[in-house]
A and B are shown apart, each in its own frame.
Chain A
Amino acid sequence: MDPVPDDASKSPSAPSLSAMGVGMRVGVELLATLMVGLAIGWALDRWLHTSPIMLALFVVLGGGAGVMNVWRLMAPGRMPGGK
């Protein structure tokens, strides 16, 4: 799960469909960041008239953000230092 503290994952309903739930969450997370990246890139292109450059750049950044979110979801324990 997200940075859910321990007791949340121990709630009665959470573990029962964990595998499918986790898969669903990873998929949604990747899709969502990609969509946001796409939207930002498209909007910047429209604004700055740099047609494909920003779109290409922000799709890659969106994919990167998706992987980062999945890492935060899956990382063994919260990263101790900063967020």
Chain B
Amino acid sequence: MAAEAHSIDALGQFKLHTALGPFGASVNFTQSNLMMVIAAGLILALLYFGAKPRAVVPGRLQAAAELAYDFIHKMCVDQIGEEGRRFFPFVFTLFFFVLFGNLLGLLPFSFTYTSHIAVTATLAITVIVLVTVVALAIHGMHFFTYFWPKGTPVALAPIIIPVEIISYLSRPVSLSIRLFANMVAGHVMFEVFASFMVMMAGAGVIGYFGAAGPLALNVVLMGFELLVAFLQAYVFAVLTCIYLHDAVHLH
């Protein structure tokens, strides 16, 4: 590679810096926070302007809002059961916060807040605390039989109980790692291929043709990342529903 002084800095894109000039700097308001506010604003705008026309035959925006509502509502009822309606606002908020974070991160010059484990872990811990509180509120002390499946031989108790507890505690960990790892992996790949492109282009005329390869790869990757962005938000929401189902029905 002829491009000197250009190395691949794949992780620099995840660095936080303060946004909104001196105002942001004085309260450590980072670009990550800014993206969260934008995402929240966009979700509220989608619902507000989507619901505003109240047309019998919905327009595009209203159709999108109704689709979003129906999609999560169906997910809640299917996965949790009739009690799932009570958790609809929570799951809806969670799904769209993650989805908009993933999707906004794909825009140039933006930032993917779901690529920080601090964010995903906070969401996952919120989920698991809610699930535990719901289970305790519904079942009381009976909740602890969750760690002692019916029909297990008593001799296995010293192994099964710690294993079940570890398995339960691993839920937020796997939930947060899955989302954050997917987002980081995708963005690192973008950066690496884009760096190849710049390096190739630095090699002269032949390099311009060579650079077409990484460019094509990045285009394909963008399509793939759109899918991953949706899929990871979906998986996050579905797993939340499954955990809530376990909490409501226990076994």
A residues neighboring B (CB under 8 Å): 1-5, 7-8, 11, 13-14, 16-17, 21, 24-25, 28-29, 31-33, 35-37, 40, 58, 61-62, 64-66, 68-69, 81-83
B: number of interface residues (CB 8 Å): 32
Which residue of B151, B182, B242 is within 8 Å of A24 (Cβ)?
B182
Main secondary structure of the interface of A (DSSP, over half): helix
Which residue of A4, A28, A68 is within 8 Å of B181 (Cβ)?
A28
Which residue of B150, B167, B234, B242 is within 8 Å of A82 (Cβ)?
B150
Main secondary structure of the interface of B (DSSP, over half): helix
Closest-by-CB residue of A relative to B238 is: A8
Beta-carbon contact of A64 and B159 below 8 Å: yes
Which residue of A7, A21, A25, A40 is within 8 Å of B166 (Cβ)?
A40
Cα distance, A58 to B159, chains bound together (Å):
10
Cα distance, A32 to B120, chains bound together (Å):
14
**Which A residues are in CB contact (< 8 Å) with B159?**
61, 64
**Which A residues are in CB contact (< 8 Å) with B167?**
33, 65, 68-69
Are A2 and B242 CB-contacts (below 8 A) given A17-B231, A28-B181, A61-B166?
yes
Are A69 and B231 CB-contacts (below 8 A) given A3-B242, A31-B177?
no
Which residue of B162, B238, B251 is within 8 Å of A4 (Cβ)?
B238
Beta-carbon contact of B177 and A21 below 8 Å: no
Are A33 and B242 CB-contacts (below 8 A) given A8-B79, A13-B231, A68-B163?
no
For the complex of A and B, list the 8 residue pairs with the smallest distance between their C-beta atoms, beginning with the closest.
Answer: A32-B174, A32-B173, A65-B166, A82-B150, A33-B170, A32-B170, A65-B167, A82-B149
Beta-carbon contact of B238 and A28 below 8 Å: no
A to B contact number (C-beta, < 8 Å)? 89
Given pairs A3-B242, A14-B234, 20 additional interface contacts (CB within 8 A): A2-B238, A13-B227, A13-B231, A13-B234, A17-B231, A31-B174, A32-B170, A32-B177, A33-B173, A35-B170, A36-B170, A40-B169, A61-B163, A64-B159, A65-B163, A68-B167, A69-B170, A81-B151, A82-B149, A82-B150
